[in-house]
Amino acid sequence: MSTDVTQSSTFKSICSFNPENQTIKESGLKTISSVVSSVISHLQTTDQEVDSEAIATFSQKIGLINSKLEDGGKGTPFSVALYTMDLLVDLRKNLSPENQDVLKHPFVSQLKDLAEQGTIEDQAGIATQIYRFQKNVLNPALLQAQSREELASLRPLVKLIFEITPKVADADPKGILNKLKEITIANYNYTYTVTNPTYTTLLAYEPGSISNLENPKRRATIVSKLTELQQQIGGIADGPHMTTHDKVTIYHAYLQIQAEFGENGTELNEVIDTLETTLGLHKGIKSGFPLELTELLSKPISGELAPIAKKLTAFERDHLIPALQQATTREELTALEPLLDQCIELKSKVISGDKKSRLENSHNEMINLWNAKFQKTDPNFAPLVAYTPGKIKNLSSPERREQVATSIHEYIEKAIQSFDHPIFKQDEKMALYEAVLQIQTEFQEHGDGKRLEPTAKALREALSIPEPELVIPKPEPKVEPKAKSGVFAMWEKRASGSGSENSTPKISHVSAKKEISPEVRRQKSIQIIQEKLGSLDLQSQFLSENISDIKRQIRTLRSISGDQAEFKHLEKALDALQDPTPFAISDEEHVFMNFLGKKHNLSKVQLRQYQAQEKPTVINAKSELLKALKKSVATPDRLDAVAQRALATESANAKQMRFRRFTDIHAPNPALSHNFAAHYPALIQTFELFTRETVLPDLEKSWIKLATVYDSHTGGKFSELLTNYSYMDPRRQFPAYVQYCQESFLDSFDFGAIDHIPLGALDPYLVERVEEHKTDAADVFTGSYESFFQENHFWLFDNIDHIVAPYNQGDQVNTNLGGGVCYNNSLHRMSEYLKNPQLDRNSLPMGSTERTRYYQNQVQRKYQKAKEGEMTWDEASQAIKQNCSEYGLAHHYTHNVPSYDTLAKEMETFSDLKYKQVVLILRNSSTNKAHAVNLIFDKENGTYSFEDDNVGRVNYSSLKELQEQGTAYFKTYYEAHFPALEFECYSIA
């Protein structure tokens, strides 16, 4: 046991020292220094108690002595010792038994002195001590800390180590201490988070344990605490320490608390949404099991399989299958695909634990649902189900017919496999069949109907529709067999035309069938229309089915008469009974009302009430329309005209009714009379026609005119290439152009004057307004095109034959956008090429891979930490650069390119220096944004190219060509956004 220094006479003498009336001699300073060193050593012992009061008194006296020496111009020789003693006292007070090694370590007493030194002479020796202390003592202690207080006592050690590390950088060329620093930060952040009382509470959360949730202040406090914890978890979720168990348990606790919030659960939406992003969970699935899935698949499974199989079954049944049921688009479905794949993979590993076949059943249900949904969201499904004659253009071209037939057949073949699934309704399957027959008829007009016969046959087999029977009428001297019509006639025609002209079908025992004349069939169809229309009920559950029956009879009438326009207005009226778009508030009506609100002082809150008028006016319009149709059901020859008139009348009445109802409650200021309300339908209709028949067509014509010029010189390649780049497509800006034209058009209206125009006299005023603005669309397009698209399109036009792999990351599904994706993609491509210089570069895919998306996520974490102030932007950049090691690369040089004007020269210089490629970084320091591109000038292999995830792979035949066109590209597309350029140079690690 060591001697207790506090019992020594010199220690007690110092404790009784009075600096005010006692002097300090040089010999006394040496004695004091010796005692101070002994006290520090004493504080680092763990085998005996320390007299805390005596140590406190001693520290106070040393502080007074230090101050007196400073006043006398002799400096502050004991400042470091005072800091060290305070540090050790705090460590003794707060360190748990597991962390006593920190206290005893001799390096602790040297830290403050080293931090105060301007230059450290023995850098190698100190670097070694830092490494050993940090790796073996400090970092484990940070993880073992039992409380926030213990962690706080270790924080000064962390701070001192971080202050000393840069001073020994010359002895650490590989940056080993910087890597240790990252581990230290990760350990500290982890323990700081898990010692948060909220964290520990949630790990053991019992449902219902939070009381008084009806109190808004109580809920606000809970939301605040959960938000704070979520932010802290964001700093450790990607680290090595937070277990999957903790992630899942805490996430489920958040969901449980949200459920206990009841109708106020939306108050937690934002924090849970962010937590899901942090943990990498799918936002549509409220379960933490995907985290367990990933962990289970990452290593061999040991132990009982039945519990895992049970969990997987519950996840598929309660979460994944409902999510698939709710998915309505291919994008939503594809987003769920990774989870589906993981479930399939895990099932193969745990299926032996599925004793009651519950997992097998849920798995089959999930896969069958996925397959059926996949077919219903196929781009072919909706157009075929709603197919109208003539919708497919250019069928005179054999190539076009081949393309259409192949596409339809491939889709139908796959869709049929899911026809038994309940989500495929019978009327949808029949609609697919009828569409194929209709398209087959259109093919037959070009003598090519047989091309779709395999598809029609496959559908008949799937739907149990009998094959058409070849009918050979027996000769009857007095009765001429009547020509058949309709679907069966078409089948017979195809069957009879399959052999030679003079061949006789070898079919026996087929009795002749009496044919129904076209007139009889026509009368029968009209009778069915009358009966069905007369019995239509808007409240009936069979409304949709009855309307489908009427439409089917209308198609029959058209096939008999050959007039595709027959009953077209009745068909539109029937559509309006199901889809009330003609009566609903159109986009133009919304815009008009917002404009009127600004002119007549209606608040946004009031204008939102206008939407509330839609439902009652739509219901009334549908009811009145059906009444009008039923009144004319007895006179079918007038029915279509009545339908046309009634549809227009009720559409206008709906607009006028909701405007009057709205303005009766919310009076415009200046006021508008009921005369204006009477004009309102005409104003809206004119505005709709101006938008849809003047502005939009003129925008399309303006663009087509330009595109035709480009295409005429490229054989149509320009338009084909442009489909890869949504950001260069002027059509994407049409909504903005439309808005501008609409505002200009409405601005020319004088609502006060309109209010005084007599009924029936408004048309000339509206015609004049339309005439004034008929060229607006063409004018705004021309101005915008020259400013935003022209230079880009010129470059695209000039390089159309050089772009060998068009690609735009923004147009790709499942591509991670944001900080880091282009950088990781560039590193991946560079790595592949450096490993195999003979590699055909065109074999490398553009865009991201699962691997690059993963490391991009890590990069985004660094950016996020920099944004939140957890690290500097320089630290984030350095950390990001180290990301190259994940691709087997080592970063060895960064070169600043002075300007875009010198870029070509820099390419040549680096090529002369035997560089084959670099990653070109385009940077904007003011916005902290950057973009990365592969730039290749490989003389040895004759490869000159650049690869940009915003345009694709662009190849040139020479360095000169790359210099000219590459520089033009970067200046045109990026100079305005990224003024700074860098060459990042890498080699194989």
In DSSP terms, 801 is beta-bridged to none
244, 249, 239: which is closest to 292 by C-alpha? Answer: 244
732, 716, 748: which is closest to 784 by C-alpha? Answer: 732
In this prediction, residue 513 has a pLDDT band, given cuts at 50, 70 and 90, of very low
In this prediction, residue 495 has a pLDDT band, given cuts at 50, 70 and 90, of very low
Q: Is residue 545 in some structural domain? A: yes
* Element spanning 788, H or E: helix 776-788
Residue 467: the pLDDT is: 66
* Residue 783 clears pLDDT 50, i.e. is over it: yes
Residue-wise pLDDT tens digits, 539-569 = 888 898 899 999 999 998 998 888 888 999 9
47, 56, 46: which is closest to 6 by C-alpha? Answer: 56
* Residue 477 clears pLDDT 50, i.e. is over it: no
16-34 mean pLDDT: 79
In DSSP terms, 987 is beta-bridged to 890
- The length of the chain in residues reads 989
| Statement to judge: residues 806 and 943 lie in one domain | yes
* Residue 855 clears pLDDT 60, i.e. is over it: no
| Statement to judge: residues 167 and 225 lie in one domain | no
Residue-wise pLDDT tens digits, 439-457 = 998 998 898 989 999 999 9
Tell me which of 61 and 956 has the higher pLDDT: 956
CB atoms within 10 A of CB 731: 12
* Element spanning 752, H or E: helix 751-755
Measure Cα distances from 932 to 183, 685, 879 in Å: 28, 50, 16
Q: Which of 40-49, 117-126, 862-871, 967-976 has the highest mean pLDDT?
A: 967-976
- The whole-angstrom separation of Cα 109 and Cα 495 is 101
Which token pair is 454?
A: 């395999």
- The whole-angstrom separation of Cα 329 and Cα 322 is 15
Q: Is residue 376 in some structural domain? A: no
- The whole-angstrom separation of Cα 944 and Cα 963 is 9
Q: Is residue 978 in some structural domain? A: yes
| pTM (two decimals) | 0.48
> What share of the chain has pLDDT > 70, as a percent?
91
Q: Is 53 exposed, middle or buried (0-12, 13-18, 19+ CB in 10 A)?
A: exposed
Which token pair is 421?
A: 């699934």
| Statement to judge: residues 683 and 662 lie in one domain | no
208-218 mean pLDDT: 90
| Statement to judge: residues 218 and 272 lie in one domain | yes
Task: Look up the CATH number of the domain holding residue 848.
Answer: 3.90.70.20
234, 247, 159: which is closest to 867 by C-alpha? Answer: 234
DSSP string, 708-737: HHHHHHHTTHHHHHHTT-GGG-GGGGHHHH
| Count of domains forming the chain | 7
334, 324, 202: which is closest to 258 by C-alpha? Answer: 202
Q: Identify the domain containing residue 662 by its residue range.
A: 519-671
DSSP 318: I
Residue 20: the pLDDT is: 72
680-701 mean pLDDT: 95
| Statement to judge: residues 626 and 726 lie in one domain | no
Phi, psi of 73 (to 5 degrees): 75, 20
453, 480, 448: which is closest to 468 by C-alpha? Answer: 453
- If DSSP codes are grouped into helix, strand and coil, which group holds residue 566? coil
Which token pair is 58?
A: 């001693």
188-199 mean pLDDT: 93
Mean pLDDT of all residues belonging to the chain: 87
| Statement to judge: residues 658 and 602 lie in one domain | yes
Measure Cα distances from 500 to 229, 497, 508, 696, 928 in Å: 82, 7, 19, 53, 76
Q: Which of 242, 264, 280 is the last residue of a domain?
A: 280
893, 899, 956: which is closest to 922 by C-alpha? Answer: 899
Left (φ > 0), alpha (ψ -120 to 50) or beta: where does 285 sit? beta
Q: Which of 26-30, 423-427, 777-781, 862-866 has the highest mean pLDDT?
A: 777-781
In this prediction, residue 777 has a pLDDT band, given cuts at 50, 70 and 90, of very high
61, 826, 175, 108: which is closest to 69 by C-alpha? Answer: 61
| Statement to judge: residues 528 and 491 lie in one domain | no
Phi, psi of 984 (to 5 degrees): -95, 125
Measure Cα distances from 324 to 327, 339, 417, 972 in Å: 5, 11, 18, 44
* Residue 337 clears pLDDT 80, i.e. is over it: yes
CB 377 within 8 A of CB 429: no
Q: Which of 250, 280, 310 is the last residue of a domain?
A: 280
Tell me which of 478 and 740 has the higher pLDDT: 740
| Statement to judge: residues 831 and 911 lie in one domain | yes
| Statement to judge: residues 523 and 656 lie in one domain | yes
In this prediction, residue 292 has a pLDDT band, given cuts at 50, 70 and 90, of confident
Residue with tokens 């108690």, as numbered in its chain: 49
Q: Which amino acid is at 647?
A: L
Of 544-558, 594-608, 873-887, which range is least confident? 873-887
End-to-end CA distance of the chain: 53
369, 368, 391: which is closest to 380 by C-alpha? Answer: 391
> What share of the chain has pLDDT > 90, as a percent?
52
Measure Cα distances from 386 to 197, 440, 561 in Å: 59, 16, 22
Q: Does 670 sit behind a cis peptide bond, omega within 30 degrees of 0 on the bond before it?
A: yes
Q: Is residue 335 in some structural domain? A: no
Q: Which of 94, 111, 129 is the last residue of a domain?
A: 94
| Statement to judge: residues 849 and 941 lie in one domain | yes
* Residue 65 clears pLDDT 90, i.e. is over it: no
Q: What order of strands is seen across the sheet that includes strand 803-806?
A: 803-806, 952-956, 943-948, 929-938, 917-924, 980-988, 889-897
Residue 924: the pLDDT is: 92
- The whole-angstrom separation of Cα 944 and Cα 958 is 6
* Residue 487 clears pLDDT 50, i.e. is over it: no
CB 358 within 8 A of CB 313: yes
**Alpha helices, DSSP H only, in 535-603?**
543-561, 568-578, 587-599
Tell me which of 588 and 853 has the higher pLDDT: 588
* Residue 489 clears pLDDT 70, i.e. is over it: no
Measure Cα distances from 353 to 78, 304, 310, 339, 347 in Å: 70, 8, 8, 21, 10
Q: Is residue 297 in some structural domain? A: no
471-490 mean pLDDT: 39
Residue with tokens 């309109």, as numbered in its chain: 754
CB 552 within 8 A of CB 431: no
256, 252, 310, 298: which is closest to 279 by C-alpha? Answer: 252
| Statement to judge: residues 642 and 615 lie in one domain | yes
Q: Is residue 302 in some structural domain? A: no
Q: Is 658 exposed, middle or buried (0-12, 13-18, 19+ CB in 10 A)?
A: buried
| Statement to judge: residues 751 and 807 lie in one domain | no
In this prediction, residue 946 has a pLDDT band, given cuts at 50, 70 and 90, of very high
583-604 mean pLDDT: 93
CB 944 within 8 A of CB 938: yes
In this prediction, residue 48 has a pLDDT band, given cuts at 50, 70 and 90, of confident
Residue 468: the pLDDT is: 58
Q: Is residue 892 in some structural domain? A: yes
Residue with tokens 């202690």, as numbered in its chain: 141
Q: Is residue 16 in some structural domain? A: yes
